[in-house]
Every structure is written in structure tokens, then in C-alpha cells.
Amino acid sequence: MSNEFIKADLHIHTPASKCYKGKDTDNEYLNLLRKAHDLNINIIAITDHNSIEGYKRIVKIKSTLIEKKRLIHSNISPNDKIHPDIEMLNKELELFDNLLILPGVEFETKNGVHLLVVFDDHTPIELISKFIEDGGYDCAQYGLESPSILPKWDILDLFAESKKYDCIVIDAHTDSNKGIYNTIPSGTYRANCFKSSQLSGVCFKSEKQKNQLAQTISQAKEYQRKSTLAFLKFSDAHCANELGRNVSWFKVEDHSFQSLRCAFDNSPESITTEPPKTSEILNKLINDKAIDTFGLPNLRKRNKERFKRLLCALNNSKGGYILLGMDEEKNKNGLDLSEAKARKEYPEEIRKCFRESVRITNPLSYQIYPLQSDKCIITVHVKQSDDLIGINNDGKIYLIEKSKVVAATAKQIQDIVEERVTVRVNKNISKKIAIVESQCSIIKNYFSSIPIIKMFERRSMPLRRIIAKPTLLESKKIKNDGLSQINKIIGKNPNGTKDGNLLYLKSKTSPRLSHAYLRMSPVRVSIKPIKHKKTETIYVVPGGAVFYCNELLKVYTDNQFVILTFSPINHKLYSAKLISAFLKSSFFLWYCINKFDSMDTFRPVIFKNILLPDIDASPSNKTLVKSIEVLVDEILAIESKFLMIKEASDKDIEAHNSLADEIFRKIDENIYSLIGLSQADIGIVEECLIGNNIYLSKK
């Protein structure tokens, strides 16, 4: 798994707890496992009150299912069809696949504190039963939330006894009336409880109390620990529907108890109570000192007025974020989304506040980040604008000063207006100067280009001599059901697939792309009924994009139009790969700009006049041609490999484009050599491309 975040719920009750809301049947136990699978939870712990009986029942259910399957197999011949009972048993046994079920107990101490003790799944059940009995509970007390006897151990006694076992101890309800933080009075005893290395984590409800406890542990000398305490959320489920209502995410090597234990040893990096991506984004917004971020618990009347002031102040200052569902101390309490109407109300309230602020010109930008228990944080991004704004009928201009909203003085307003006017004028002047400089450079470059153009044309030959008659291939010749199928595939695989019998091409595509998954290969999809021919083909799309394919395929487009296709006549030096590479090269695009003032090779006036280098059969030219063909194969290979990635990340795309850039740069260099350009000539070509804002592969 290589350190992926997975979901775990380590506080689950079964019918073995007397307070469980459900029937005591095998199916009820299996319902708990079904719920875990439905929610993609990978690790659960069965933690009944002062009892291991629920976990024992799950172990017994699994062994019974395996035994039933074995007996059925032994009574049917290999030639018989699959037995329906085996299908059902397989379904039930699948519930145990990829789900680590850990034995545990919710143990009530003398102090009335409930501690979760989660054991390694290789621990014999008899040893766990002994642990519970040694703590003072017998079978008469199993499953009782409020047992009628006083157990033998207080919190520190349990910590001492747990050292004899491979287990993880967690405060089940630290900030409730059954937890260490709220139940035990502050003092040396409570400090020793939190200080103990046997306490691996605490479950919390209140974000504010959790932050207070974290601050106490980090700052108070008597509380300081050798290892970091994990802060957790689990469901405390008393029925299948409650399972997973709260979970924690753990970064682990694999689904094992030991990997889970390792996560507790490095909890700041390996444990989170928010979806990992959400946690990463929100923590960055909160902790980045370069970003102005403000918490607002909700949009009730008082907070709504503060929200409007923040909108205006951030707009008038350098911009920033308002985090709805977070208080001013940055505690993530969340907005309640338990009712469906709330999901519509919050965005509408945000838009209403925008409308009530004067002249906010930047578009509304907000994101909803889910938390647990039907709660969320909404981030509202406010950009700085050139205009100073205020609230309707307020008459004030607000600014951000030292992370506070203040009303601006007349002097501040004057300074801001003067500064922004100066910046705006400088920007406009700089832009106009850049345009003039670029135009002068292009004109100067054009005169330098004339000798290179003449030299190329003397040593060239028309493309039409070495290709078969071009064909205009009409798109959208597929029936409606085929089109819907294509749309479905394109929706799932917007970058195409590795293989297919149909091309998908955009109605207009630039010949030179700065950041693209595919540059040489067209996007392919598969439709079963359509047959295709095996022949090397070059496709030219309106806009000037050129693609190579080793098959002649039908085309589907986003808007009906025609594609130009052609293939070279058998020629030792002019292959389809060489021609494709040349038509995509920096030199050819430069030639088109200077000769035709356009790079759209699809246009008849350009296509009919395409010239190729006149290549003789000298050893050096053969080597260059072979090198270009090998580089085209490399491009096709990396594009094919990229299409095998199911969900490409930004990092994958960046790495792919960087490699493609490197290969295209080598293709350009070989074509420069094939044409016979000097370094000075290459400088003129590339300076022209840069002046015309044509993307150039980086050296």
C-alpha cells in the first residue's frame, strides 16, 4: 500500500453489549461488516462493554461459514454446476476480505472512565478474557455499560496491566462524562494519566476542548509526553447504521495491527480525523502566515454582518479566505448539513451577502469541504480588486490590519487609491511597450529570415509528390447509440485509451500545445462493431494539429466537420513518422508563419504548398531520418504509457510533459541538421516563434 491513508473505526459494539440496538443473530453481526464494506472502512475494532464475547462470535461465524462451504464442496461432483449455497457463502465470506477485524474491549475503570483496549488480532482470545477477568469483571457483568460491581483497576492500574499485552489503549470519550479530561479533576493524577506512554490516543467531540487539551499537553511541564498523543474520532456504534458515522484516517503500510501501531507512533503525520485531502487544504489555509484567513462559525445575524465586513476588507486589502464553520480561534466545529435544505441555504446566503456588498467585481468563489457527522467547512476566497468597496448604507471602507478588520481613515483611502492608480498605469504602459518591442522584433526577424527561407525552398520538394491522394474524412458517421457509447467512454477516459478503433478529435486544435497529455497520438476509443484498416496514416485537423496513427480509423468529433488524412507512398526515406515529425517541428511552424502568416496546415492554400526537405540517401541523412523515427516511437510509447494511468495526478502530468518536451527538442535538433541550419539560423527561427507566442520546448 506504500503509506496510503485508510479509514478505521476502532469503537464498535455488537449484540454482545446489552445496550446494542438490534437482534442477537449471526446476520446482525454480518450487517456490521456489510456497513464497513459499504463505507470503504478497512480496519474495525469490536469493543463491547467489559467483554470479548462479540469478537468471539464474529470469529465463530467465519469458521462456521468456511466449514459449511467445505462440507458442500465435499458432497458435490466437479461436473456439477455451482451450488447456490456456495454462492451465498462466498458472498458472506467476502465480507471478511480486505477488512482487518481487531479484538478489543471498552473497559470501565474504578474512576468511571471508559478506555478502549484494542489488541493485536493474533492475541489468543483466552488471554483477552483473562485481561478482563483480572480487571474485576466476570461473565455476569459482560456487556453491561454500567456494571453493578466496582472493578479492580483505576486508570493507571489498567495502563500498568496493558504493558503485558500487545495492545493500544485509547480514552474512549475524553471530553465527556466518561473520559479522562472531563471526569478526572485537574491535578497530578490527571497529568500522570495523559503523560503515560500507554495512552496512545483520545477520542474527542469538541474541537475547542481538543485544542485546549493539545495546548495543555504541549505547554504544561507535568503533562509533557515522550510520544505524541493521537486525537481520534470513532463511531461508538450501537447498531449497524451508526457504524462509520465518525472515523479516523491512518497512514499505514498495510492492513495489519503492527502498521496501525506505527501510525500511533507518528500521529501528527499519520492520523487525521478529517478526510486527508480536506485536512491538508484547511491546515495550509490556517497555518500559512502569508494568507489572511478568518474563521466564522455560521451565518446567523451577528456573524452575517461580520461576514460582509470581511468580504469588503479582504477585497480592499490583499485578499484572503473566510472559513465558515470555524470559530475565531480556528476550531473546526463545522456547519450542520444534516438536513438537505441546509446544503442549498448556505451557498444562497453567501451569494446574498455578496450582493449586499457594494460593487464586488470579482466572481464569487467558494468550496465545500466535508467533515464528519454531516458537517462541513465552506471556504470563501476573496480576491483583491482595484476598486475599494463597502457595505450598502454603511458609509465605511474596511481594511485588514494586523489580522483585524478596521475602518479605513481618509489618509489610508487616499494612499491606497494613489498606489493602485500608479500600479495600473505602469501595468498598461509596460504592456504597450512589450507589444511594440515584440512587433519590432518580428519585423527585424522577418528580414533575417528571408535567406533561410530561400535556402530551404531551393533544397526542398513538394509533399504531394510522395503521398497518395489526400482524403477528406467526414466525422459523425456513427449511429446514435454508437455516439452515446462514445460519449460515455470519453466521459470516463477524457485522455483516451491505449487502444481503440475510433479517433476522437476536437473541432479545432492548435499545432503547438504547451501542456498536453497527447501531442503525437490522437485520442482513441473502442466501439465493437466498427472495423478499421492497418495502414500508417497522418491526420490533419482544422487549426493545424497533426497526429500520427498506424491505422486508418473513423473519426468522431465534438462538432461535425472533416479531417484531412493521407499516407506516404512507399519510400525508404520519407516515412509517415518522419513527415508527421516535420509537420509538427519548430522549423516548419516558423516557415508557415513567415510564408503564409498562419500555422493552419488544414487550409488548402497552405496544404497544397507544403514543402519537405529534399533528402538524399547519404549515410548522415539516413542516420538523421532513423533518429527522428526512433524519437517518434519514444513519443508514442510514453503517450501510450500515460494513457494506462487511471487517474493522473498533476505530478504525473508534469513528469509526462517534461519528458515529451525533451524528446520534441531532440526532434527539432535533428530536423535543423537535416535542413542544414547553422546556430545563427536556429536562433532566428526560435526568436521568431517566441516573438509570436508559439510554445517552444525547453532546452
Torsion of CA 260, 263, 267, 273, to 10 degrees: -50
**Among candidate residues 472, 478, 483, 470, the one with its CA nearest the CA of residue 562:** 472
Residue 352: HSE in the Cβ half-sphere, 13 Å Cα cutoff: 11
> Which DSSP category does 501 fall into?
S
For residue 478, the model assigns a pLDDT of 54
The secondary structure element, H or E, covering residue 136 is none
Q: Which of 615, 573, 585, 571 is nearest to 468 (CA)?
A: 571
Q: Please, is 175 exposed, middle or buried when counting C-beta atoms within 10 Å of its C-beta (0-12, 13-18, 19+)?
A: buried
Series of mean pLDDT values for 10-residue runs along the chain (699 residues)? 81 97 95 95 97 97 93 73 78 92 97 96 95 95 91 96 96 94 93 95 92 90 90 96 95 91 90 88 84 89 88 89 88 79 75 72 78 87 84 84 90 85 79 69 74 93 90 64 60 64 78 80 75 83 90 75 84 89 94 91 92 92 94 93 79 87 94 94 90 80
DSSP symbol at 112: S
Q: Which amino acid is at 625?
A: V
Return the amino acid letter for 234.
F
- Residue 362 · residue 314 · CB < 8 Å: no
| 115 residue type, one letter | L
C-alpha grid cell, residue 344: 442549498
Distance CA 657, CA 664 (A): 10
Q: Residue for cell digits 496514416?
A: 537
Report residue 687 as a C-alpha cell: 526568436
509 is written with which cell numbers? 486544435
Q: Which amino acid is located at 359 in the chain?
A: R
CATH code of the region 279-408: 3.30.950.30
| Contact predicate 575/535, CB 8 Å | no
Q: Where are the domains of the chain?
A: 4-267, 279-408, 457-691
d(CA 539, CA 608): 15
Question: What's the angle, vertex CA 114, arms to CA 113 and CA 116, rounded to 5?
Answer: 140
Q: What does the angle CA 295 – CA 297 – CA 299 come to, to the nearest 5 degrees?
A: 110
Q: Indicate the Cα dihedral angle 51, 55, 56, 58, nearest 10°.
A: 150
Q: DSSP state, 82?
A: P
| Cβ neighbours, 10 Å, residue 160 | 12
pLDDT at residue 485, as a whole number: 63
Rounded-to-integer distance, Cα 699 and Cα 696, Å? 9
The burial of 646, by beta-carbon neighbours within 10 Å (0-12 exposed, 13-18 middle, 19 or more buried), is given as exposed
C-alpha 489/C-alpha 450 separation (Å) is 48
410-458 vs 586-596: helix axis angle to the nearest 10? 90
**Secondary structure (3-state) at 123:** coil
| Angle, in degrees to the nearest 10, between helices 679-691 and 650-675 | 130
At 331, which amino acid appears? Answer: N
What's the sign of the alpha-carbon dihedral 479, 484, 487, 492?
negative
Task: Specify the fold of 4-267.
Answer: TIM Barrel (3.20.20)
Could you give the CA distance from residue 241 to residue 74 in angstroms, rounded to a whole number? 38
pLDDT given for residue 78 in this prediction: 63
In this prediction, residue 585 carries a pLDDT of: 94
Contact 110, 153 (CB under 8 A): yes
Residue 218 C-alpha cell reads as 504541549
Residue 259: per-residue pLDDT: 92
| C-alpha to C-alpha distance for 598 and 470, rounded to whole angstroms | 21
Type and span of the H or E element at 464: none
The DSSP line for 352-411 is HHHHTBTT--SPP-EEEEE-STTEEEEEEEE---SS---BTTT---EEEETTEEEEPPHH
Q: Identify residue 587 by its one-letter amino acid code.
A: F
How many CB atoms are located within 10 Å of the residue 491 CB? Answer: 8
Residue given cell 461459514 in the structure block: 65
